Amino acid sequence: MKWLVILLMFSQGSSAETHVLKVYFTGSSGLTSFLPFEAVGRLDDIDTSHCNNEAIDAKIGWVKKLLSDNPKIFELLKRFCFIDNPAFFKYIIAELMKNFNQTEGIHTFQMVGGCQLNIETKELKGFLKYGYDGEDFVEFDLKGLKWIALKKEAVFLKQLWDMDTRDLEFHHYALTDLCYEILNTTLVYGQSSLFKTGTVLHRYLLTDLCYGLFNTSLVSGQSSLFKTDTVLQLTECTSIQSAET
């Protein structure tokens, strides 16, 4: 569940006074046309990078420079994108399928995490949530240092993850001190293109199929971060049909 280092590449945001670092991970099973693990993200309104279990692709110049100036970070990214996270998502999907007596079909396990920083007040808000098959599943309670089951089927996973106290402490650190440090680092490298007036996005792309990813569109204010009209909706970039619920 080590994921925060990848935030150096990823995220999403809203305005000149607030910067949001956000990363989206998608693990999948049953889709032969796509890799089993994909990650994509934004820093404010800028698409920056994409990685999967085969490649890391920095989309813009300052991200490439950040990785070039910090080879140790790049090596960590390769480990997290190529080994750690693909293995984690594969394992969790297998466990969820077993728990729900699912033996086949298309299944997805997604994560959205990061932090939001108010430049004027220095207030930092961390967030982390997982979804399974298009539905919110578990969410990390930063203040309570525990996981929250967002549906009754997720209670077993909440209880399992709550037992790992070291992991809970890591997530607290990652969503506060570490995320603050990473966000400031990315702002230094991307300041020429980031500090300008923006608008609140009304549509979030969890993944971009033009990058070879799943596209799960969200309308601002929707109750679920992961819910769509289909379990997995593949959009205009290809002619692949969506898997209907």
State the CATH number of the domain containing residue 140.
3.30.500.10
Of 156, 142, 51, nearest to 98 (Cα)? 156
34 lies in a domain? yes
In total, how many domains does the chain have?
1
Tell me whether residue 229 is in a domain: no
Residue 210 confidence (pLDDT): 25
Query: pTM to 2 decimals?
Result: 0.74
Report residue 229 as tokens: 């009209």
**pLDDT tens digits for range 168-199:** 999 999 899 888 887 888 778 877 555 543 32
Q: Is residue 150 part of a domain?
A: yes
Residue 41 predicted with pLDDT over 50: yes
Asked if residue 215 belongs to a domain, the reply is: no
Give the mean pLDDT of 134-154. Answer: 96
Flag whether 207 is in a domain.
no
Domain membership flag for residue 244: no
pLDDT at 194: 55
pLDDT at 94: 95
Please report the pLDDT score of residue 185 as a whole number: 81
Average pLDDT over residues 189-214: 38
Range of the domain at 58: 4-199
3-class SS at 80?
helix
Contacts of residue 56, Cβ cutoff 8 Å, sequence gap at least 6: 9, 49, 50, 74, 77, 78, 81
User: Would you say residue 245 lies in a domain?
Assistant: no
The 10s digit of each residue's pLDDT in 127-138 is 999 999 999 999
CB 140 within 8 A of CB 171: yes
Segment 191-208 mean pLDDT: 37
Radius of gyration (Cα) for the chain, nearest Å?
A: 17
Instruction: Determine the residue type at 205.
Output: L
Establish if 118 belongs to a structural domain: yes
Chain centre distance of CA 34: 17
Q: How far is CA 204 from the centre of its chain?
A: 12
Q: Please give the DSSP secondary-structure letter assigned to residue 65.
A: H
Confidence band of 44 (pLDDT split at 50, 70, 90):
confident
